[in-house]
Amino acid sequence: MDDRVLITGGAGFIGSHLATELLDHGYTVRVADTLNPQVHGSDVDRPPYLHRDVELLRADVTDADAMADALDGVDHVVHFAAMVGVGQSMYEIRRYTHVNTVGTAVLLEALAQRPVRRLVVASSMSIYGEGLYHDAQGRPHARVERSVERLRAGAWDPVSDSGETLESRPTHEDVPANLTSVYALTKYDQERLCLMVGRAYGIPTVALRLFNVYGPHQALSNPYTGVLAIFAARLLNDKPPLIFEDGLQRRDFVSVYDVARAARLALESEEVDQGVFNVGSGTSVTIREVADRLARVLGKDIEPVLTGQHRVGDIRHCYADIARAQDRLGFSPRVPFDAGLEQLAAWLVDQVADDQVDQARDELSTRGLTL
């Protein structure tokens, strides 16, 4: 296969795994990445885990000339470039909006001049906010909100407008957006802009709403990355993981290997011209369980600390209904959570993490972003 794929943000955690997946299936891969020091450290010219056959361009997605050059000779684009982190997005508002929203607009203007055969964009489960809930009568409730008063009182679970108890359900793609953080808003911008411009210029476009992705090569020293990487950084430094609320909030953790395969399937699924798909495991686990199980596989006898605080922008429960991706993309997750944790632990053995969680927590507290 001679198809060339450009992955924006492709030197990062998920993008690097996708690059390997595509190379293994006969694609030629070019990566455009700024090598953000928050993710890669201050003196990295090329991440050691990035496959040697990847062409790496150090390029900023907000630079129009750089994006035009990156698209030269490209058949497909996977747009992963983004600032990632709910908490940080609530005070670095301009930076997140500039990189995620404006950067996507710059890329799309370049694509309008040089359309490709397919565009895949990484969206996020964060756009759902609180996921889907049902009441005792089985009626669905979407766009559920948790009041500040209830959160201050430690009443973590959402209730209906009439105060009725609600039960979480798998969230499907037709649940309306409910944006609770600047990060979520910018990911929604990325998704909608790509689908809109793709349709206008005849570029088949697929948006993948990624749930909680984990696995080797996560940025352990970035305190705003995925929760498993944050917990790992704490445990590797013999410190307890810090858990907001009561630790019973539920998430869907999906292996990066499954996500890379889903992105490849999205590139190859010619039956899908435009579409949005959840990419998750289809199961859920509590954050407390995650901390306990990670400590166990790392051989650390360290109990997590429940802070009893709420971080502004966080949600209670959200996990994926993946039926649409199974039916239309042929995607089914292959890596069970326990097996994925073992893969992560095997990689962590040789890693050193600069734990910056306390500083990040202090930053949020100083700005009034914890309750």
Q: What is the pLDDT of residues 102-159, one digit of tens each?
A: 999 999 999 999 999 999 999 999 999 999 999 999 999 988 999 999 999 999 999 9
- Helix (H) or strand (E) segment spanning residue 148: helix 148-152
Give every CB contact of residue 145 below 8 A, 6+ residues apart in sequence. 129, 130, 158, 178
Share of the chain above pLDDT 90, in %: 84
pLDDT given at position 1: 65
Among residues 190, 226, 188, the alpha carbon closest in space to that of 77 is found at 190
Mean pLDDT score of the chain, rounded to an integer?
94
Rounded Cα distance, 308 and 285, in Å:
19
Contact yes or no for 111/201 (Cβ under 8 A):
yes
Per-residue pLDDT at 186: 98
pLDDT band at 42 (very low <50, low <70, confident <90, very high): confident
For residue 362, what are its two tokens?
Answer: 């202090």
What are the tokens at 93?
């508002």
Q: Which residues are designated catalytic? A: 183
Domain 4-366, CATH: 3.40.50.720
Q: What span, in angstroms and rounded, lies between the C-alpha atoms of 329 and 129?
A: 25
The answer, yes or no, to whether residue 17 has pLDDT greater than 70, is yes
Give yes or no for a contact between 68 and 113, defined as CB atoms under 8 angstroms apart.
Answer: yes
pLDDT of residue 110: 98
For residue 227, how many C-alpha atoms fall within 13 Å in the half-sphere facing its CB?
Answer: 25
- Whether the CB-CB separation of 194 and 111 falls below 8 Å is answered with no
Distance of CA 182 to the CA centre of its chain: 14
| Integer Cα distance of 225 and 229 in angstroms | 7
CA atoms within 13 A on the CB side of 114: 16
> Quick check: 368 pLDDT over 90?
no
Residues 6+ apart with CB under 8 A from 72: none
Three-class DSSP category at 71: coil
Give backbone dihedrals phi and psi of 282, rounded to 5 degrees, phi first.
80, 10
The strand ranges marked E within the chain are 4-8, 28-33, 55-58, 76-79, 118-124, 132-134, 140-141, 167-169, 205-210, 212-214, 242-243, 250-251, 253-255, 274-279, 285-286, 305-306, 317-318
**pLDDT tens digit string along 177-219?**
999 999 999 999 999 999 999 999 999 999 999 999 999 999 8
CA distance 199 to 70: 22
- For the segment 44-70, the average pLDDT, to the nearest whole number, is 96
pLDDT per residue as tens digits for the range 76-112: 999 999 999 899 999 999 999 999 999 999 999 999 9
The per-residue pLDDT for 44 is: 82
DSSP string, 257-278: HHHHHHHHHHHH-TT-SEEEEE
Comparing CA positions, the residue from 245, 222, 215, 244 lying closest to residue 153 is 245
* Domain residue limits, the chain: 4-366
